[in-house]
Amino acid sequence: MNEANLEDRAVDQVLTEIPHHSSVKIDPWPSPGLEQFSDPSVVRPIDDAAATNGEVEAQSSRNAIAVGTPSIDPTQQARRVRYVFDLLSQDGEAKQEGVREFNKLADDFCGILSNKSPDNQAEITARVWNDVFSPVMVQADVVRVVCALICGRMANIIKASMAHGEWMPMAMKYFPGKSIKVLQENMRLASLRKVERHCHRGLTLLKKLNPIAENPPFSTEDDPLEAVFEYVQTKSEALECDYSVLAALAIGDLKLKKAGLVIPMPALRTFCEQKFELNAADIKEMQAMKKVGLDPVAHLESISKNAGSRVFSLTNPGKKKGAGDQHKVPDINTTFVTTSQIITAAIKSGKVSANNVNRENYDALIAALEDFEKVAFSPRA
């Protein structure tokens, strides 16, 4: 298809091939898979044979997007997205055409929201995201992982053939566009057995899990990554968790065990399902809680209850780290509970005496509580 034909193409004309522009280089390794990028944004007739082979519903769905109804054929629209991706990945005339096709695609999707209630608009948007965009994004993730793995394997071969100490200068010379850290991560990931089975899980997730999977007991398994997922699924009873939650569980469990903390997997799962992540300050606080006889799980529960806001009563009293607004009033009820538990545990230990308690701090606490009582519980005028 030449440029003139492309510009003169009628709106309702089927685009049966990828436009080839004068500024676009022909792929030296052509693939029949490119045929799936053909633009399918046309209304097609439903033939009589369709009634016998189950195509009526699918064909009606294909037509629906063209006339602006909320019925969407995910496969067809995913092809349109990939077609736009293919054009925008090129230069010159192809990219300009890609911009036009992108705007057309965006207008089509936004157009089906017209004259719909907010609830219907939200439902349609969610369906578009889950049924059209998510699968395409998974495919993009697979491409990134495949490239990283092959690059990593090639680098591993080069390194194995070199004398000790020669690899780093060589890597800096021949991989100037890639940081050494990223290259090393790719090499480690490429060394993991059967990692290619997990390309769909994305490069970021795989790199986070790799330090766990490449060490015992998982490294001895036939498929180390799968063993990690099976472990956290079994321990947390998370039979239907998505892989990002399972990965967070595995990483969190490893951090806690290294810190000498054993947290029940179901409790950790609840924490991870809300997209919270353990940090060094959390672990330090939980270690301090364990040391004075408190249950570290209470810290996780407090974070979940307070939408990610943290209170470090033992390791950093008076300072609160929130998930969003850093100027929120501290959750005083949580502080009361934690303080009460600490005082009770100290009394039960039998080690409380005037020798190990700072009287000034005690008096300041009592004075603060008395002031609090006047403000919180005194009758209002």
Q: Record the tokens describing residue 185, joined without a space.
A: 């991560």
**pLDDT tier, 1 (very low <50, low <70, confident <90, very high otherwise):** very low
Residue corresponding to tokens 């695609």? 105
Q: Record the tokens describing residue 78, joined without a space.
A: 């995913």
User: Which pLDDT belongs to residue 43?
Assistant: 34
What pTM was computed for the model? Answer: 0.51
pLDDT above 90 (res 153): yes
Contact between 38 and 81 under an 8 Å Cβ cutoff? The reply is no
Query: Which alpha helices (DSSP H) does 260-305 contain, by range?
Result: 265-273, 280-291, 297-305
pLDDT above 80 (res 332): no
Sign of torsion, CA 272 274 279 284?
negative
Distance CA 32, CA 24 (A): 18
210 to 111, 133, 207, 283, 312: CA distances (angstroms): 43, 27, 5, 22, 31
User: Which pLDDT belongs to residue 8?
Assistant: 43
**pLDDT tier, 224 (very low <50, low <70, confident <90, very high otherwise):** very high
Average pLDDT over the chain, rounded to an integer: 74
Query: Of 80-94, 130-144, 239-253, which range is least confident?
Result: 239-253
User: Which pLDDT belongs to residue 283?
Assistant: 92
User: Which pLDDT belongs to residue 238?
Assistant: 56
**pLDDT tier, 187 (very low <50, low <70, confident <90, very high otherwise):** very high
Q: Which of 200, 80, 72 is nearest to 137 (CA)?
A: 200
Q: What percent of the chain has pLDDT over 70?
A: 74
User: Which pLDDT belongs to residue 172?
Assistant: 83
361 to 159, 271, 291, 367, 371: CA distances (angstroms): 61, 34, 21, 10, 15
Contact between 233 and 268 under an 8 Å Cβ cutoff? The reply is no
| For range 354-358, the mean pLDDT | 78
Contact between 302 and 296 under an 8 Å Cβ cutoff? The reply is no
Phi and psi angles of residue 46, each rounded to the nearest 5 degrees, phi first: -100, 120
Query: Which alpha helices (DSSP H) does the chain contain, by range?
Result: 3-8, 50-53, 56-67, 74-88, 92-111, 118-127, 134-160, 167-174, 180-190, 203-213, 224-236, 243-258, 265-273, 280-291, 297-305, 332-349, 359-377
Domain limits, the chain:
196-306
Distance CA 318, CA 306 (A): 17
Q: Which residue has the higher pLDDT, 34 or 102?
A: 102
User: Which pLDDT belongs to residue 57?
Assistant: 39
Contact between 231 and 257 under an 8 Å Cβ cutoff? The reply is no
Q: Which of 72, 137, 62, 82 is nearest to 109 (CA)?
A: 72
At 232-286, the pLDDT tens digits run 777 666 555 666 777 788 888 888 988 899 888 888 888 888 888 888 899 999 9
User: Which pLDDT belongs to residue 209?
Assistant: 85
**pLDDT tier, 4 (very low <50, low <70, confident <90, very high otherwise):** very low
Length of the chain: 381
| For range 41-47, the mean pLDDT | 37
User: Which pLDDT belongs to residue 190?
Assistant: 95
User: Which pLDDT belongs to residue 343?
Assistant: 82
Q: Record the tokens describing residue 227, joined without a space.
A: 């063993």
SS3 300: helix
At 57-83, the pLDDT tens digits run 334 444 444 334 445 677 888 888 888
User: Which pLDDT belongs to residue 377?
Assistant: 77
Contact between 124 and 116 under an 8 Å Cβ cutoff? The reply is yes
User: Which pLDDT belongs to residue 235?
Assistant: 67
At 281-325, the pLDDT tens digits run 999 999 999 888 888 999 998 888 888 888 888 888 766 555 443
Pairing of strands 320-321, 310-311: antiparallel
User: Which pLDDT belongs to residue 219?
Assistant: 87
User: Which pLDDT belongs to residue 330?
Assistant: 53
